[in-house]
Chain A
Amino acid sequence: MSSTKFILGLFDDPDVMMHGIDKLQKNSVPIYDVYTPMPIHGIEAKLGIKPSRLGFAAFMFGCLGGTTIFSLVYYFLVHDWPMNIGGKPAFAVPDFIPVTFEWTVLFTAFGMTITFFFATHLFPGRAPRVMDFRATDDRFVIAIDAKGNIPHEDITNILKEAGAVEIKHNDRKYVSYE
C-alpha cells in the first residue's frame, strides 16, 4: 500500500489549472481543494461550492448595530435624562442619525469579519495548514485526496496531460507543521 496521502498538481497558469480541473472531473477524480495565490473566479462553480452567506450575516449585524445605538441614545436622551434645549423635543431623531449610521457600519464590519475568521478558522496563532509552500507565491495547486483515488499513476498522468508543471505525492497532508 502506498504511503501517499495527497496528490498535488502544481500549475503555473490559472487558465491551465482550470482546464486541469475540468480534465480531472471528466475522469471522475474528486478534487479535495484548490490553493491559489490570488482569487480565481469560476473555481467555486466547478467545485460546486455554494455562494457565501456572509452578506446575510453582514446585514444582520448592521441591523443589530443600528438598533443597539438608537435604543441606547433613546434611553440616554429621552428616557433617562431628557434635556430642555430651547423647548425642543428630546426625541430629536435627526440628531440620532449620525451615530446610528456609524454603529451600523461598525457592527457590520466587525461582525462580518469576525464571522469570516470564525467560519474559515482564521485567527492569530493558528497553525497554517499549507499543502505546498508556493501556493501563496506563484503556483496554482490542485489537491487530490489519495485515499480511495487509485490508481495514483492515472491521476498523475491526467495532471501531466493537463499541463501541470510539477506533480507531488505527499506523505503528509500538510507540509507546514514543524
Chain B
Amino acid sequence: MASHNESIIREPLITGNDITYAKITNDVLKPVENMPTKAWWIGFAVASLAACLWVFAVSWTFWYGIGSWGLNKTVGWAWDITGFVWWVGIGHAGTLISAILLLFRQNWRNSINRSAEAMTIFAVICAATYIVAHMGRPWMAVYSLPFPNQYGSLWVNFNSPLIWDVFAISTYFSVSLVFWYTGLLPDMASIRDRATGIRRRIYSVLSFGWTGSVKTWQRFETVSLILAGISTPLVLSVHTIVSMDFATSLEPGWHTTIFPPYFVAGAIFSGFAMVQTLLLILRKVLGLENYITMFHIESMNKIILVTGSIVGVAYLTEFFIAYYSGGEYEQYTFLNRFVGPYWWAGCMMYGCNVLMTQMMWFKKVRTNIPISWVLSIVVNIGMWFERFVIIVVSLHRDFIPSSWAMFYPTWVDMSVFIGSIGVFFTLFLLFIRVAPSIAMAEVKLLLKSSSEQAKKKLMEEGHVDPSHAEFYKESLTKFDSVELSQYEKA
C-alpha cells in the first residue's frame, strides 16, 4: 500500500523535491500534449527517410526476388536471418522488464516498462518483416500456417523448429501487444480526461472507456499479474525456439545443446542495450530525469554486465566443447572464426560482447551516461556480429571444401538492414508523441514510498538510523538529478 515506508537505504526511484501526482501527469504528457520539438522533427525526418529506404529495398526484393541479395548456394541464410534474430533478441528486454521484473517485484521497472514494451513490439515487427522478406515471394507466408489445401491436405510439419518459430513469434507479438495495450488503458484515460474536442474523442476510443473504479483496478491488476506470469516462460520459449532453428541442424557451429540458454541470455543482453540506447536519449530530450534516474541506468548496466558475462561463459563453453568433442569439423568452425576470412567479424563479436562489457564492473563506468550510451551501442553492434558469425561464418565453410564460398552483401541487403532500423525508430518516435512514454499510474504508486522527497521526509522526522542516513546520502552522490547541497546541512 502507498503508506508503507520503504527502508531509507534503498535508493530513490523518483528524484526531485516538488513532485506531486499532478506533476507526474504533466511531465509525462508534455510530449503528447504539445507540438513536437525540433529535435523530434529532425529525428523523425531521418528515421522516416530510412524507413522509405526499407520500403524501396523490400519492394526491390519482391520484384526481382532474393537473387538481389548476396546469398549463394553455400550461404543461404545471411543478413536476413542475422537481422531477424537481432531484432527478436532486442525485443526480449521489454518483456523481461514488464513481466519478469514484475514477478520479482522490482519497482524500478515501473518507469521504464512502457517504452521498453513499445520497443519490444516495434522490434518484433522489424523481425517479422525479415521473415516475410526472406521468403522472396511473401504470399508464400500463408503456407507456414496449417490451412486445409488442395495438396492432400498436406499439413505443415509440426516436427520442424521453423514451424514452432512461426507459432512462437506470432504468439509473442500478439501477447506482448495485449500486455502493452492493457497497461496503456489507464494512461490513455488520463490523456482523454485532460483533452478537449477531437483529441478527447480519439483518446476516448483508445482508452476503451476506462474509469479507474475499484473493480476495474482490481481486475486490471489480476490481468497484469497473470499476463506477467505467462509472458515469462513465453519470452524464454521464443528465443529458445529461435535457437533451435539452428541447434537442431547438423551444421558445425549450430549443432550445439547450449544454444537455448545462450541465445536467451544474448537476447536479454542486446535488448537491455537497446533500452539503454533509447532511454538515455529519451530522459534527456523529454526531461524525464526525475523518473528515469541514475539508479535505473545503473541497474540496467548491471543486467547488461550479468547477461554479457553469461554470454561470455557460453562462448568459452562452445570453444571448450569444440576442443573436447574431438570433432574436426566442429574444431575447424571455431578456429575459422579467428583465422578465416571473416576473422574481423569474430573479433567484433568477442570484443564488443565480452571485453567491452566487462568494463561495467567499474561503478564509474556504470554511472557515466556518455560511456553507458557508447557501450550500449557497442553491445548492439557486437550482438549483430554474433548472429552474423553464427550464421554466415558457420555456413560459408562447412563439410565440403569444394563448396566453400564467401558472402558479400549487396546494396539491397544493406538497405533492408538500415531501413529496418529506420522503421523501428519511426514507430518509436510516433509512439512517444501519441502515448505516454512512462506508465504514469505505476509511477504514481511509487511517489509516497520510494521517492526522494518521501525519504527526505523520513529523515527530517528523525526516525532514521544515522548510519543508514549517511549510507543513503552517499548513494545519492551518483545521481545527476539530485541536488546534493540540500543534504549537507541536514
**B residues in contact with A108, CB < 8 Å:** 226, 230
Contact A110-B174, Cβ < 8 Å, known A92-B159, A137-B25: yes
**How extensive is the interface on chain A, given as a class?**
35 or more
Contact A37-B230, Cβ < 8 Å, known A47-B214, A128-B211: no
Whole-angstrom distance between the alpha carbons of A19 and B316 in the complex? 60
CB distance from B207 to the nearest CB of A (A): 7
Q: A8-19 interface mask toward B, CB cutoff 8 Å, 1 = contact, 0 = none?
A: 000011110010
Q: Is A99 touching B167 in the complex (CB atoms < 8 A)?
A: yes
Whole-angstrom distance between the alpha carbons of A15 and B445 in the complex? 12
Whole-angstrom distance between the alpha carbons of A86 and B464 in the complex? 71
With CB as the reference atom, state the residue of chain A lying closest to B154: A81
Return the contact of B230 from the options A72, A109, A134, A176 (Cβ within 8 A): A109
Q: Is A126 touching B214 in the complex (CB atoms < 8 A)?
A: no
CB distance from B441 to the nearest CB of A (A): 4
CB distance from B426 to the nearest CB of A (A): 24
Q: Is B444 touching A52 in the complex (CB atoms < 8 A)?
A: no
Whole-angstrom distance between the alpha carbons of A119 and B219 in the complex? 9
Which A residues, 56 to 77, have Cβ-Cβ distances below 8 Å to chain B?
A: 58, 62, 72-73, 76-77
**B residues in contact with A35, CB < 8 Å:** 211-213
Whole-angstrom distance between the alpha carbons of A14 and B454 in the complex? 14
Whole-angstrom distance between the alpha carbons of A113 and B180 in the complex? 12
Whole-angstrom distance between the alpha carbons of A131 and B189 in the complex? 13
Whole-angstrom distance between the alpha carbons of A96 and B186 in the complex? 39
**A residues in contact with B231, CB < 8 Å:** 105, 109
Q: Is A109 touching B211 in the complex (CB atoms < 8 A)?
A: no
Q: Is A109 touching B217 in the complex (CB atoms < 8 A)?
A: no
Q: Is A98 touching B193 in the complex (CB atoms < 8 A)?
A: no
Contact A76-B212, Cβ < 8 Å, known A15-B2, A102-B171: no
Q: Is A39 touching B441 in the complex (CB atoms < 8 A)?
A: yes
**B residues in contact with A106, CB < 8 Å:** 171, 174-175
- CB of B313 within 8 Å of the partner chain: no
Q: Is A138 touching B209 in the complex (CB atoms < 8 A)?
A: no
Whole-angstrom distance between the alpha carbons of A133 and B192 in the complex? 9
Q: Is A98 touching B25 in the complex (CB atoms < 8 A)?
A: no
Return the contact of A44 from the options B182, B209, B218 (Cβ within 8 A): B218
A-B pair number, CB within 8 angstroms: 202
Q: Is B159 touching A49 in the complex (CB atoms < 8 A)?
A: no
Whole-angstrom distance between the alpha carbons of A8 and B6 in the complex? 32
Q: Is B159 touching A130 in the complex (CB atoms < 8 A)?
A: no
At the interface, is chain B mostly helix, strand, loop or mixed?
Answer: helix
Q: Is B21 touching A37 in the complex (CB atoms < 8 A)?
A: yes
With CB as the reference atom, state the residue of chain B lying closest to A131: B211
- CB of B204 within 8 Å of the partner chain: yes
Contact A76-B193, Cβ < 8 Å, known A37-B186, A128-B207: no
Q: Is A135 touching B171 in the complex (CB atoms < 8 A)?
A: no
- CB of B326 within 8 Å of the partner chain: no
CB distance from B189 to the nearest CB of A (A): 5
**A residues in contact with B241, CB < 8 Å:** 98
- CB of A125 within 8 Å of the partner chain: yes
Which B residues, 155 to 180, have Cβ-Cβ distances below 8 Å to chain A?
A: 155-159, 161, 163-164, 167-168, 171, 174-175, 178-179
Whole-angstrom distance between the alpha carbons of A117 and B1 in the complex? 25
- CB of B237 within 8 Å of the partner chain: yes
**A residues in contact with B163, CB < 8 Å:** 99
Whole-angstrom distance between the alpha carbons of A18 and B208 in the complex? 27
Contact A40-B219, Cβ < 8 Å, known A110-B178, A137-B194: no
Whole-angstrom distance between the alpha carbons of A108 and B175 in the complex? 9
Which A residues, 95 to 125, have Cβ-Cβ distances below 8 Å to chain B?
A: 95-96, 98-99, 101-103, 105-106, 108-110, 112-113, 116-117, 119-125
Which B residues, 113 to 154, have Cβ-Cβ distances below 8 Å to chain A?
A: 146, 152-154
- CB of B205 within 8 Å of the partner chain: yes
Whole-angstrom distance between the alpha carbons of A55 and B1 in the complex? 22
Return the contact of A136 from the options B146, B157, B175, B186 (Cβ within 8 A): B186
Residues of B that sit less than 8 Å from A by CB: 1-3, 20-22, 25, 146, 152-159, 161, 163-164, 167-168, 171, 174-175, 178-179, 182, 185-186, 189-190, 192-194, 204-223, 226-227, 230-231, 233-234, 237, 241, 440-442, 444-445, 448
Q: Which 3 A-B pairs have the closest CB atoms?
A: A126-B209, A138-B21, A76-B155
Could you list some 21 contacts between A and B, CB below 8 A?
A: A12-B21, A34-B214, A37-B190, A39-B221, A54-B222, A81-B154, A85-B159, A95-B158, A95-B159, A101-B233, A105-B234, A116-B182, A116-B220, A120-B216, A124-B205, A128-B189, A128-B192, A128-B193, A128-B209, A136-B190, A137-B193
Other A-B pairs beyond A14-B448, A58-B230, A136-B193, 9, CB < 8 Å: A14-B1, A36-B212, A40-B2, A122-B210, A129-B209, A129-B211, A133-B193, A135-B211, A176-B193
